[in-house]
Structure 1
Amino acid sequence: MQDFHISDARMRGLGARLSRTRAVVWTVIAVERLWPLFLPIAVIISLFLSLSWLGVFRLLPDWGRFALLGVLALGLLASLVPFRKFRLPSSPDVDRRIETANRLEHAPLLTQTDRLAAAADDPFARALWLEHQKRMAERLSRLQGDLPRTDIPERDPYALRAAAALLFVVAAAYATGPQSGSVLDAFRAPVSTSAHVAARIDAWVTPPPYTGRPPIFLTADANREKTEFLVPENSTFSVRISNGSGGEALTVTKSADGQSVGVESGEENGVVQFAHVIDGDSVVELSDGSRTLFSWSFRTIEDRPPVIRFEGEPRRAANGALELSYFVEDDYGVTKAEARFRLADEDPNVRPLYGAPEVPLPLPRRSSKDNVAKTSKDLTQHPWAGRDVDLTLFATDAAEQVAESETKRFTLPERPFTNSLARALVEQRQVLALDANRKPRVKAMMDAVLLWADEMIANPAHFLLISSIRSRLDIARTDDALRGVVDDLWEIALIIEDGDLTAAERRLRDAQEALRQALENGATDEELQRLMDELRAAMRDFLREFAERALQNQDSLAEIPEGQMMDQMDLERLLDQLEDLARSGAREQAQELLSQLQNLMNNLQAGRPQQGQDDSMQSQMRQQMDQLGEIMRQQQELLNETFRMNREQQGQQGQQGQQGQRGQQGQRGRQGQQGQQGQQGQQGEGGQQGQGMTAEELAEALRQLQQRQGQLRDQLQDLTEALRDLGIQPGEGFGEAGEAMGEAEGALGEGEGERATGEQGRALEALRRGAQDMMQQMQQAMEGQQGNQPGQQGQRAGRVERDPLGRPRATTGPDFGSDVEIPDEIDTQQARRILDAIRRRLGDALTPQLEREYLERLLDMR
């Protein structure tokens, strides 16, 4: 029984080894049969890849490429035919292969699976058969597999398969180079072997947007022969290569140190692109392998830091606001400017509740010749008001370069309080705001005020307000709560001092500031209209309350002579002009006019006339200055009317040219062009001319303009004679103005409206120069006269008298527009037409992208 069990275990182990051997041998036979069939396919595929990587398909013409692909395709199909004879190994095939490989005789493998015949039930025969199987099994204890043996050498006696493998290895190594081909070359049209001829290379330099300069196209026809360019610093150099070889390289060599740097490329949809920022003088080379395609030399324009400095000392305006005049300059324009304050006697041990005041500075207009700007900021409400501060101006350009001015030390303007109680509250407010640790001292001072309320507080409402704020101060524990107390102390002091006037003044300043920010940020027309309405309402409220307060002093109001009273119509006209400028796109001029309006409000005060101003000579001077102002006003009206008549005249000439003599082609072309201009002029007027004028009406209108121009010239001559009688020598401006008026009169008589408009503009400019010279002589004469009067020596030296709106008083003459240049009606109409043309061009879908970008930059520069 034991032997029988041992034989069974040995038989089971033998069976497992036999199964593994049969699996290995089955795989070997399958490989032997499959490899000869697959080898032709592998050779054809390797040939296709080798030819693609070596660039053969890229070099062949279309017919050659198609023929080669056809041959390879036929070969591939032919190599698939032998697969029909492929058969998987059977079990007898595997057994025979094992017996052959191990040199086994008498079929020992077959013996293990054979069975005795059913009739052989003889025990002796059965024992004999088992013994035979046992002996055959002992011969199978050391079975081994066999290696695949194909007949490839017999089929390929010359070893051509090795040549295909060697070609594949060489092509795979070549595929990593810049000149290699691609598998896709077999399925797309070939490119020319001369990459520099077939490839499209576009190179350009884009200056930084803040420079406002257009791109420079290096490969354009105008610049193709140039090799040296002058570009702004930090410009972007770009190259775009289409249908290139793929081996292009870009090298940048710095002129300063001679070091060369390669620029990495990017590829998108088969297009190779390079980009590099030029931050110094350098040479850029574009090469294709060992051949240089282009070479450019760039010299950079250094982006200088901005410059900012004070133009005069910081000073206090009439209403207590801080006025600053400063110079700002940068090669490409300043983007931001601000004023930074610091306490002169700053103590690091205190706990302030407020930081330094923030004052952003408006920038000068782009068209400004002197780059000088002015700003006014009311800081009287800030707790630092009345303290010595150090002020420094900072300017930042688009390249984030920062410049600072010298530091000015001065006393920050404060609001004067005449009421002793209000002044005491403001002083304690400043103490608490500068150092929260001094809260007990402020409480003690307020307790003292409340203790002597009968003597110090006349209004019971004021007593209730101070008692309430004293209770809030007692329970305040955080800085936010203390800041609320500080703010309320200021409001209480204003109520005690001025009542409700300051609220109206604050609303007016808020409206001005909101409009100024909207103009700087390019707000929409709807937003500007809303802000203008708010400004008008705030202006009316302020003027009404100011007038009510002025009426409390009737004596002072009665002493103000005629010509110095405030005229609200002037303000209304100023607001109308401001709204027209903002809506027409002249945002910078609108900002300048708004600044002038702020100066008017700052200088609004109930002035008293000086004694000795009403003598005979000064009265005559005032009359002459008023007459000069009237002449300038009439000349401006003549200029506007002549401009409109000229456009009407051009429109009629254009219509006659379209209907007139067709044989005179030169005259017809000129009149046709004038007709187009006339039609555009009529459209730009928006219907102001109605249905037009007849030829007789136009001639009569020009004759009337000629007469008015002649009368105005005679008035100027009378004025110059009157000035000589007063001892004032008329300047050269009046002589040039008279000459220009005469030329304009003659041009109107001849029907030359365009020449008349130019002469009238020259006359108006000459009148302004003559007016400035006349005002200087009059001021010197009046100062000399006042210096001889007792008690008035030096009172007016170096000081220009202003009316309550900040305009020159009648003693110094009218404002001839020399301070702020406000566009007249002609400039406004031209600006509107230009803006409309730009917007129509932007709305055209066929406008090129490059032109769109340029027009958008023009709109941003408004």
Structure 2
Amino acid sequence: MTGQHPDERDAERVRFDIFKSIDRLRLSAWLTLAFERLWPRTLPLLLVCALFVIFAWFGLFRMMPDLARLGLLTLFVLSLPACLYTLLRFRLPEHADVSRRLEDVNTLDHQPIAVQSEILATSTDDPFAQALWDEHRKRMAERIRGLKSGLPRTNIPEIDPWGLRAVVGLFLVIAFAFSGSPLGGHLGDAFRSHSSSNALPPRIDAWVTPPRYTGRPPVFLTSAANDQEKQFTVPQNSTLTIRIIGGNGTERVTRTPPDGKPADIPVKEEAKAADAAPAKDQPRNFELTLDTSATVGLIDSGTVHSEWAFAVLPDQPPTIRFTREPSSAVNGTMELAYEIKDDYGAASAQAKVEQIQPPAKDARPLFDAPEIPLSLPKRGADGGETKTTRDLTEHVWAGSEIRMTLVAVDDAGQEGRSETKTLVMPERPFANPLARAVVEQRRMLALNANAKPDVLNMLDAITLWPEETIRNPAHYLGLRSIRSRLNLAKSDDQLRDVVAYMWQVARGIEDGALSDAERSLREAQEALRQAIEQNASPEEIDKRMADLRKAMNKYMRELAQQAQRNPNMAQAPDPNARELRQEDIDRILKQIEELAKQGSKEQAQQLLSQLNDMLNNLQMRQAQGKNGQGDQMKQQMDKLGDLMRRQQKMMNETHRLEQQRQNGMMQDNGQFGGQTGQDGQQGQMSEEDVAKALKGLQEGQGKLQSDLQQLMDDLNGQGITPNKDFGDAGKSMGDARKSLGEADGGQALDQQSNALDSLRKGGQDMMKQMQAMGRAGKPGGPQQTDRDPLGRPSKSNNGNNFGPDRNMLPGEADIQRARQILDAIRERLGNALSPQMEKDYLERLLKFN
């Protein structure tokens, strides 16, 4: 372009830009024209494929007979060559076709676009002709500015004026959504035989049933809520059930462990009637116990229909331990206190015993170790102490040294054992020498049946001079009756009957008619306990309660008659001692009956156990006498009660001051202003006033610590060793005194609460030591106070929570008042504006036992 005029150069540049834009336009037009030619030839093939997929996803191939399925499949296959032939006739657009396309779209005449790429028909050196041709091209180029390629214009609407292609597309979308349902089909159904299948597709239901003892509901895997969930956590030994109704019978279930190969689960065989329908019409159940984590899949004709992964939650074995040493009441009833823990609750528990001294090699024992079933805590309870009382004095091992181990078993059969305790099995004390002799011979016979001749000789010796040794003719007749039965006994069962009869005679000699009454009462109590534990019907509960009331009345009547005959029992009672009245017993029995009928098994058993403790301690009270040390022991209990009341009062004052501090901080932060305090007055104490008041409590806390030390010294002087709880209480008091000196009320509150808890536990241990020393449970022991260390009517550990001026059970007014207090505490806890210190204190009140 060198040597050209500037105007010519500009014109050449313009033509260059025009040709460049035409090239881009030609490409767009070429693509548009290619699509117009390709789409009509591709659409038939796409419609045929879409119809095939629609038939498959709707499950039509699976529902068709094989002949119809093959015919339809053949029709689809034959239509493919015609569609491909139409597609093969496709030709790409040429250069002239693109030019004509652009000229037609832009309504250009004289072919201005084609001219730009054409040359003169004949080459010439005529400058005028070439210049004329260039001028013509230039003028045509001016007309092609701002051209457009246009949109594709297929002739599909002319071919399908009704728009049936849109219907096919709509059905394709619906079929895709339907394919994910249990009734949906697969693309491979068109190539598989379904001659043995039912007309309807299979219905699949799957669910997991946890063991009944776990209390968890079943999990329905195929429900709408769990349809998309594939991971489940289930308790160990849960049962997976998959039920298939319909289908072609080729469905199978596989189980794949985390590190193993899949294994097929067989169909559960069920009993069928003689006239039952064929097997293909019956539901097929697959059951699997999930004892370990695994993946379970449902496979239908080689295709995985559903798959679930299960994480199994292991069932932990139960644990059981002694919370206190085994003890016994005065009448020999054994008391066991223990704690059972299990993730789902223990199914049973018992105490297993064995003799330390084994029988001789040639001995022939008549009795095995006693069975001691244990009461179970309420399912779902978080630990806690459980108590069981059993009267084992009738067993022939009574008085022997034994080893005892507590065993708890859960519903899965897992076993937990406690530590082994060595103790002497409680025995019933006999004051009558003749009764002691009968019991001794009974024990000798029961432990070795070969000692029968020796027992006969001893009975003959006892009854040799009855006029001198046996004053009651009935006792003599009982001994001779034993001798006759023993002489006639040949088998071990007959000898065991003689052993039981010897026990009845011994108790008759000791207690008279009271022994039969007490035995009937124990049997009635045990029958009622078993009925409650087995969730018996209301009619059965009524029957057992009637038997218990009858046995209770007989026992109380015989006990009163015996007290009249025995001058030691008929001595004037202590005016401060508590009495067991008939209305107290009736009220307890009525409440036991109501709880049993309402299904409150644990509460009914607990109240029945308390009634048993009361009866045991009733015998203890009959054996009690008076001693000059009673007033001294009462004084120590009063001191402890006063000490606990003073500590409680100081803790309340500390809490009040700390609450004043919290309220003042909230006012300073603007959380509430001008709120009326607990004392009903406006405003709060300043931080300095609160700190000064807390420090003022330091001296009183120190006085409490010194008084506790003096009490411990006094107890040591009386032969009672204060346990570590008193020491912990003193340490907590000292820490609280230090915290008060530092004006740290929150820390002092926790330490004062710990001190109060330790004082209460120490008081309980002190009462136990008094009983063990014979000061509270044997003749000559001190009288018991009717007040606990807090000055309230006492509810002692031995069960004597009754008195002449107080009912055993809370009245309606007491219950209503307790509910009101609890409601008020919970309402205060729910107040968002309550200080955190107050909330902590209220939570401690709710947990305070």
Q: Which of 228, 241, 244 is the aligned partner of 1:241?
A: 244
Deviation at 1:427, TM superposition (A): 0.7
Structure 1 residues 561 and 609: alpha-carbon distance in aligned structure 2, compared to 1, 3 A threshold? farther
Q: Which of 412, 428, 433 is the aligned partner of 1:399?
A: 412
Which amino acid in structure 1 is aligned with residue 787 of structure 2? A
Structure 1 residues 389 and 332: alpha-carbon distance in aligned structure 2, compared to 1, 3 A threshold? same
CA distance in structure 1 between the partners assigned to 2:317 and 2:397 by the alignment:
32
1:351 maps onto 2:373 in alignment: no
Q: What is the Cα-based RMSD across aligned positions, in Å?
A: 4.4
Deviation at 1:521, TM superposition (A): 0.9
Structure 1 residues 391 and 734: alpha-carbon distance in aligned structure 2, compared to 1, 3 A threshold? farther
Can you give the 5+ residue segments of structure 1 that lack an aligned partner in the other structure?
Answer: 1-50, 65-176, 192-197, 626-722, 741-775, 830-862
- Give the match for residue 608 of structure 1: 625
**C-alpha contact 2:206 2:220 (8 A) present in aligned 1:** yes
- Give the match for residue 259 of structure 1: 261
- Give the match for residue 787 of structure 2: 810
Deviation at 1:423, TM superposition (A): 0.8
Q: Which of 370, 375, 382 is the aligned partner of 2:383?
A: 370
**C-alpha contact 1:565 1:804 (8 A) present in aligned 2:** no
Q: Which of 585, 591, 596 is the aligned partner of 1:571?
A: 585
1:329 maps onto 2:329 in alignment: no
Following superposition of structure 1 onto structure 2, how do residues 680-829 of structure 1 map, counting pairs within 5 Å?
Answer: 729-730=648-649, 732=651, 787=715, 798-800=766-768, 809-810=786-787, 812=789, 814=792
Deviation at 1:594, TM superposition (A): 0.9
CA distance in structure 1 between the partners assigned to 2:560 and 2:653 by the alignment:
40
Deviation at 1:402, TM superposition (A): 2.7
Q: Counterpart of 1:444 in 2: which secondary structure?
A: helix
- Give the match for residue 226 of structure 1: 229
1:456 maps onto 2:466 in alignment: no
- Give the match for residue 155 of structure 2: none
**C-alpha contact 1:321 1:379 (8 A) present in aligned 2:** yes
Deviation at 1:302, TM superposition (A): 1.0
CA distance in structure 2 between the partners assigned to 1:210 and 1:733 by the alignment:
45
- Give the match for residue 520 of structure 2: 507
1:418 maps onto 2:431 in alignment: yes
Structure 1 residues 725 and 333: alpha-carbon distance in aligned structure 2, compared to 1, 3 A threshold? closer
Q: Which of 610, 616, 635 is the aligned partner of 1:596?
A: 610
Q: Counterpart of 2:289 in 1: which secondary structure?
A: strand
Following superposition of structure 1 onto structure 2, how do residues 538-557 of structure 1 map, counting pairs within 5 Å?
Answer: 538-551=551-564, 552-553=566-567, 557=571
Which amino acid in structure 1 is aligned with residue 414 of structure 2? Q
**C-alpha contact 1:353 1:433 (8 A) present in aligned 2:** yes
CA distance in structure 2 between the partners assigned to 1:410 and 1:780 by the alignment:
34
Render the CA deviation track for 1:424-474: whole Å, top value 9, x for unaligned.
111111111110111122122222222343432222332222223223323
Structure 1 residues 824 and 566: alpha-carbon distance in aligned structure 2, compared to 1, 3 A threshold? closer
Q: Which of 528, 539, 555 is the aligned partner of 1:526?
A: 539
Q: Counterpart of 1:557 in 2: which secondary structure?
A: coil
Deviation at 1:398, TM superposition (A): 1.3
Deviation at 1:504, TM superposition (A): 1.3
**C-alpha contact 1:426 1:490 (8 A) present in aligned 2:** yes
Q: Counterpart of 2:320 in 1: which secondary structure?
A: strand
CA distance in structure 2 between the partners assigned to 1:807 and 1:513 by the alignment:
30
Deviation at 1:249, TM superposition (A): 2.3
Q: Which of 483, 494, 500 is the aligned partner of 1:470?
A: 483
TM-score normalised according to structure 1 size = 0.54
Structure 1 residues 293 and 471: alpha-carbon distance in aligned structure 2, compared to 1, 3 A threshold? closer
Of 797-806 and 443-452, more deviation after overlay is shown by 797-806
Q: Counterpart of 1:406 in 2: which secondary structure?
A: strand
Render the CA deviation track for 1:139-174: whole Å, top value 9, x for unaligned.
xxxxxxxxxxxxxxxxxxxxxxxxxxxxxxxxxxxx
**C-alpha contact 2:643 2:708 (8 A) present in aligned 1:** no
Deviation at 1:312, TM superposition (A): 2.4
Q: Counterpart of 2:649 in 1: which secondary structure?
A: coil
Q: How many residues align?
A: 521
- Give the match for residue 285 of structure 1: 297
CA distance in structure 1 between the partners assigned to 2:375 and 2:241 by the alignment:
36
**C-alpha contact 2:250 2:301 (8 A) present in aligned 1:** yes
Q: Counterpart of 2:463 in 1: which secondary structure?
A: helix
- Give the match for residue 55 of structure 1: 66
CA distance in structure 2 between the partners assigned to 1:780 and 1:223 by the alignment:
63
Render the CA deviation track for 1:55-114: whole Å, top value 9, x for unaligned.
2357889xx9xxxxxxxxxxxxxxxxxxxxxxxxxxxxxxxxxxxxxxxxxxxxxxxxxx
Render the CA deviation track for 1:359-394: whole Å, top value 9, x for unaligned.
221211225432432111111111111112222222
**C-alpha contact 2:535 2:599 (8 A) present in aligned 1:** no
Can you give the 5+ residue segments of structure 2 that lack an aligned partner in the other structure?
Answer: 1-61, 76-189, 269-278, 660-703, 723-762, 800-807, 817-849
CA distance in structure 2 between the partners assigned to 1:620 and 1:361 by the alignment:
34
Structure 1 residues 55 and 788: alpha-carbon distance in aligned structure 2, compared to 1, 3 A threshold? closer
Structure 1 residues 510 and 783: alpha-carbon distance in aligned structure 2, compared to 1, 3 A threshold? farther
Render the CA deviation track for 1:739-786: whole Å, top value 9, x for unaligned.
99xxxxxxxxxxxxxxxxxxxxxxxxxxxxxxxxxxx99997996596
Which amino acid in structure 2 is aligned with residue 810 of structure 1? R
Deviation at 1:331, TM superposition (A): 1.7
Of 596-605 and 540-549, more deviation after overlay is shown by 540-549
Which amino acid in structure 2 is aligned with residue 591 of structure 1? Q
**C-alpha contact 1:786 1:792 (8 A) present in aligned 2:** no
Following superposition of structure 1 onto structure 2, how do residues 310-321 of structure 1 map, counting pairs within 5 Å?
Answer: 310-321=322-333
CA distance in structure 1 between the partners assigned to 2:303 and 2:796 by the alignment:
65
CA distance in structure 2 between the partners assigned to 1:317 and 1:591 by the alignment:
19
Structure 1 residues 275 and 822: alpha-carbon distance in aligned structure 2, compared to 1, 3 A threshold? farther
Which amino acid in structure 1 is aligned with residue 625 of structure 2? R
**C-alpha contact 2:393 2:426 (8 A) present in aligned 1:** yes
Of 51-60 and 555-564, more deviation after overlay is shown by 51-60
Q: Which of 400, 414, 417 is the aligned partner of 1:387?
A: 400
**C-alpha contact 1:556 1:608 (8 A) present in aligned 2:** no
**C-alpha contact 2:197 2:248 (8 A) present in aligned 1:** no
Structure 1 residues 539 and 57: alpha-carbon distance in aligned structure 2, compared to 1, 3 A threshold? farther
CA distance in structure 2 between the partners assigned to 1:724 and 1:409 by the alignment:
38
Render the CA deviation track for 1:680-703: whole Å, top value 9, x for unaligned.
xxxxxxxxxxxxxxxxxxxxxxxx
- Give the match for residue 299 of structure 1: 311
Deviation at 1:300, TM superposition (A): 0.6
CA distance in structure 2 between the partners assigned to 1:586 and 1:621 by the alignment:
37
Of 403-412 and 556-565, more deviation after overlay is shown by 556-565
TM-score normalised according to structure 2 size = 0.54
Following superposition of structure 1 onto structure 2, how do residues 627-666 of structure 1 map, counting pairs within 5 Å?
Answer: none
Which amino acid in structure 1 is aligned with residue 400 of structure 2? R
Render the CA deviation track for 1:543-583: whole Å, top value 9, x for unaligned.
22223323433687314123433333322222222222222
CA distance in structure 2 between the partners assigned to 1:330 and 1:560 by the alignment:
47
**C-alpha contact 2:341 2:382 (8 A) present in aligned 1:** no
Structure 1 residues 562 and 778: alpha-carbon distance in aligned structure 2, compared to 1, 3 A threshold? farther
1:561 maps onto 2:575 in alignment: yes
CA distance in structure 2 between the partners assigned to 1:199 and 1:280 by the alignment:
29
Deviation at 1:794, TM superposition (A): 5.8
CA distance in structure 2 between the partners assigned to 1:178 and 1:409 by the alignment:
78
CA distance in structure 2 between the partners assigned to 1:388 and 1:577 by the alignment:
39
CA distance in structure 2 between the partners assigned to 1:815 and 1:804 by the alignment:
19
